[in-house]
């Protein structure tokens, strides 16, 4: 996900449109595996001397397990970004590093999408979850244990 920013650096203030799709690695977050579909970035690069300002929006679908029934769940993610890439910037600082005239957009996209994740994934708003006694999926019908259909 490296972008050539030489045009933006050569012409400070000029807006350079950027659009691309990027693949992301799955992440283990809070003990759960989250998989990301292709991330689409639409935005602009704006040169400012030795730095480049990136403005845009990222969209992606993320998949994980439902927090209630452990089935498959997905969430549509969208995140706006306004970030700066600068020469001499260090990881963890207020700007992403600028490598010559190339921007590595991967870390910025990854961080923005992780921040856009829901607190928990649900397969649907009406998910009834698992029976706390026998573990049956209450979305498929009532369980047969002594507790009966507890409604999760």
pLDDT > 50? residue 125: yes
> 5 CB contacts (<8 Å, ≥6 apart)?
16, 45, 47, 52, 85, 98, 101, 102, 103
User: What would the pLDDT profile of 26-60 be if each residue is shown by its tens digit?
Assistant: 999 888 899 999 999 999 999 988 899 999 999 99
My answer on whether 103 and 148 are in the same domain is no
In a domain, 8, yes or no: yes
My answer on whether 53 and 28 are in the same domain is yes
My answer on whether 18 and 80 are in the same domain is yes
In a domain, 122, yes or no: no
pTM of the shown model: 0.83
| Contact call for residues 112 and 81 (beta carbons, < 8 A) | yes
> Which domain does 149 fall in, by range?
128-152
């Amino acid at each position: 996900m490296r972008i050539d920013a030489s045009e933006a650096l050569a012409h400070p203030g000029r807006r350079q449109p950027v659009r691309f799709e990027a693949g992301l690695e799955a992440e283990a977050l809070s003990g759960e595996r989250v998989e990301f579909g292709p991330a689409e970035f639409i935005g602009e690069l704006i040169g400012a001397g030795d730095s480049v300002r990136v403005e845009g929006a990222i969209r992606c679908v993320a998949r994980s397990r439902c927090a209630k029934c452990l089935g498959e769940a997905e969430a549509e993610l969208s995140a706006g970004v306004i970030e700066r890439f600068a020469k001499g910037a260090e990881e963890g600082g207020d700007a992403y590093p600028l490598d010559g005239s190339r921007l590595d957009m991967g870390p910025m996209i990854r961080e923005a999408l992780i921040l856009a994740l829901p607190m928990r994934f649900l397969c649907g708003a009406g998910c009834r979850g698992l029976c706390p006694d026998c573990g049956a999926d209450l979305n498929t019908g009532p369980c047969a244990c002594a507790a009966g259909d507890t409604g999760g």
